[in-house]
Amino acid sequence: MELITVPLFTGIIGYITNWTGVLMLFKPLEFHGVKVPGLRIAFPLLPKRVQVLPLFRSDGRIGWQGIVPSRADKMASLAVDKGLAKLGSVSDFYQTMEPDKIAAHFTRIAEAEIRNLVEKIIERENPAMWRNMPGPIKEAVHARIKQQLPQIVDSLKDDIGDNIDELIDVKLMVIKHFTSNPQLLNDLFMIIGRKELTFMQNFGFYFGFPMGFVTVAILEWVAREWWILPLCGIVIGWVVNYIGISMIFEPVFPKWYCPWRQGLLLKRQPEITVHYAEMVSSKVMTLENIGEELMHGPSGDRTMALLEHTLKPAADKAVGPAKMMVKATMGIKEYGRMKDAMAPEVSALAPLIYGDEDLGREQSIKIREFIAKQMAVMGPDDFVQLLRSAIKQDEWLLFVHGGVLGAFAGLLHLAIFGV
C-alpha cells in the first residue's frame, strides 16, 4: 500500500509546494493579515532582516504579501540596475525617440495654441494696453511669434537633449511608476519567466513522485519510525524548490556535464527579449511617462528653469520691432512679468504633446526596437539577473515553505495510514 500512497503523496505535495511557491512570489498585491496581540510593541525590537519580511507589518499584523509587490521599490530599482541601465542611458532613450519629430509635433501644436496663449498672458498683465493696441501692431506681434516659433522650439529641444540626464532620474521614475502599479511589476516578471515558473510547478511532481519510492526504501531498509515520513517530507519539499530554482537560472554559461546544459531561462533569451522590449516600451519608458517626469518629476523645477532660460530671450526676439513700444506701454516691470509668465504657460502645452496617442505609439515602436537590439547582445550573466534579482533575497522563504508543506504531508500520511 505505501508503495502507492507515499509516492502519490510526495508527488502531489511537490506540485502543491511549487505551485503555491510561485503564487507566493506574486500574490496578493496588498498585504492581508490579522492582528496579533503584542506584535506592534515587539516589532521594533525584531531584527531588520525579519522586519522586512512580507510576513509582518509594523501595525501588529501577521499575514502575507507577494514577494515581488512587497518589494516593489527594490524590485523596480533592480529592474533599472540589472535591466534598463544595461540597455542605455536616458540620453540614449531620448535620442531613440527622435526629438526632431517631437519638436516638429510641438511646433504644430504650439502654432494652433500660441495666439490665445500670448493674448492670455498680455491681457492678464496689462489688459488696457492690449485692448488699446492697434490691430496691425497686434497682428505684427502674432506674425513675428509664429515666424520665430520653429527656432524657439528647436532651441528648446537642443537644451533638453543636452541636459536630459540631469532632468530625468530614470531609477526614481521607474520606482515611482512600479510602486503605484504593483500589478505591472508582476506582469513584467511574469513575462520574463512565465514558462520557467510553469516548469517549476510541474517539476514539483516530477521530482516528488520518484522521491516517494526512495522514502519507502528508507522505511523498509533503514528504519520504520514515525518521524521518517515528516523528515523525508521536509527534505523533499526543500530540495524540490532548490533544484527547481537552480534549473531555471544555472548554470549561467553552458556546461557539458550539466544534464540541462544551461539555465532554462537563458535558453529563451531571444524570445524573452521580444516580450520584455514590448512591455517596457509600452508601459514604462513611454513618451507620456518621460514627459510627465520631465515636467513634474523631482527635477521639474530645473526643467522650468531651462524653459525660462530659453523663452525669455525668445520673447524679445518674437516681439521684434514692437518691443520698445510694448515695453514703453506696459512698463519695464510688467514686461518682465510677462516674460516670466511664458514658461508656465508653455509648459501647460506639454500634455498635448506627450499625451498624443499616435505620437506615443510611433515612439514606442522606436524604443521597443532599441531595447530589443540592446538586449540581444546582453551577456547571459546580466540577462539572468532580470528575474533572479527579483527573488534571490527572499527565495529561502520558498525553501522553508517547501519544507513545512513536506512535513505536513508526512504527518498527514501518518494520520491516515499509520507508520
State the average pLDDT over residues 232-260. Answer: 85
Give me the pLDDT at residue 415, please.
83
Residues in the chain: 419
Strand partners, 56: 62
Residue 337 confidence (pLDDT) above 60? no
49 and 95 belong to one structural domain: no
Give me the pLDDT at residue 137, please.
67
CA angle, 283 as apex, 168 and 31 as ends, to 5°? 95
Count of CB atoms within 10 A of residue 356's CB? 18
Q: Which residue has the higher pLDDT, 347 or 174?
A: 174
Q: Which residue has the higher pLDDT, 387 or 70?
A: 70
Region at 38 (left for phi over 0; alpha for psi -120 to 50; beta for the rest): left
Label the pairing between strands 61-64 and 32-35.
Answer: antiparallel
Give me the pLDDT at residue 305, please.
74
Distance CA 217, CA 215 (A): 5
What is the chain's Cα-based Rg? 31
State the average pLDDT over residues 404-412. Answer: 85
Q: What is the pLDDT of residues 195-234, one digit of tens each?
A: 888 888 888 888 888 888 888 888 888 777 888 888 888 8
Confidence class for position 269, pLDDT limits 50, 70, 90: confident
Residue 353 amino acid letter: I
40 and 186 belong to one structural domain: no
Q: Which of 16, 45, 64 is the last residue of a domain?
A: 64
Give me the pLDDT at residue 247, please.
84
Residue 344 confidence (pLDDT) above 70? no
- Report the number of secondary-structure helices (H) and strands (E) in the chain: 23, 2
50 and 167 belong to one structural domain: no
Count of CB atoms within 10 A of residue 367's CB? 22
Give me the pLDDT at residue 124, please.
64
Q: Which domain holds residue 47?
A: 31-64
Residue 142 confidence (pLDDT) above 80? no
Confidence class for position 279, pLDDT limits 50, 70, 90: confident
60 and 72 belong to one structural domain: no
Give me the pLDDT at residue 133, please.
66
Confidence class for position 312, pLDDT limits 50, 70, 90: low
Give me the pLDDT at residue 30, please.
87
* Lowest model confidence (mean pLDDT) among 39-53, 108-122, 387-401: 108-122
45 and 91 belong to one structural domain: no
159 and 223 belong to one structural domain: yes
State the average pLDDT over residues 374-394. Answer: 75
Q: Which residue has the higher pLDDT, 204 or 311?
A: 204
Count of CB atoms within 10 A of residue 30's CB? 10
18 and 40 belong to one structural domain: no
276 and 304 belong to one structural domain: yes
Q: Which residue has the higher pLDDT, 319 or 81?
A: 81
Give me the pLDDT at residue 370, please.
81
384 and 416 belong to one structural domain: yes
Residue 19 confidence (pLDDT) above 60? yes
Distance CA 129, CA 150 (A): 28
Give me the pLDDT at residue 419, please.
62
Residue 217 amino acid letter: A
Domain count within the chain: 2
State the average pLDDT over residues 302-310. Answer: 71
Averaged confidence pLDDT in the chain: 77
What are the grid coordinates assigned to 419, written together?
507508520
User: Nearest to residue 164, comparing CAs of 61, 92, 83?
Assistant: 92
What are the grid coordinates assigned to 155, written together?
532651441
Give me the pLDDT at residue 316, please.
56
234 and 317 belong to one structural domain: yes
Confidence class for position 130, pLDDT limits 50, 70, 90: low
Confidence class for position 106, pLDDT limits 50, 70, 90: confident
- Biggest CA–CA distance in the chain, Å, is 109
**Distances in whole angstroms, Cα of residue 144 to Cα of each of 81, 105, 106, 403:** 47, 20, 18, 77
Count of CB atoms within 10 A of residue 149's CB? 18
Q: Which of 43, 64, 85 is the last residue of a domain?
A: 64
37 and 155 belong to one structural domain: no
Q: Which of 64, 81, 115 is the last residue of a domain?
A: 64
Give me the pLDDT at residue 364, please.
83
What are the grid coordinates assigned to 75, written together?
524590485
255 and 321 belong to one structural domain: yes
Residue 351 amino acid letter: P
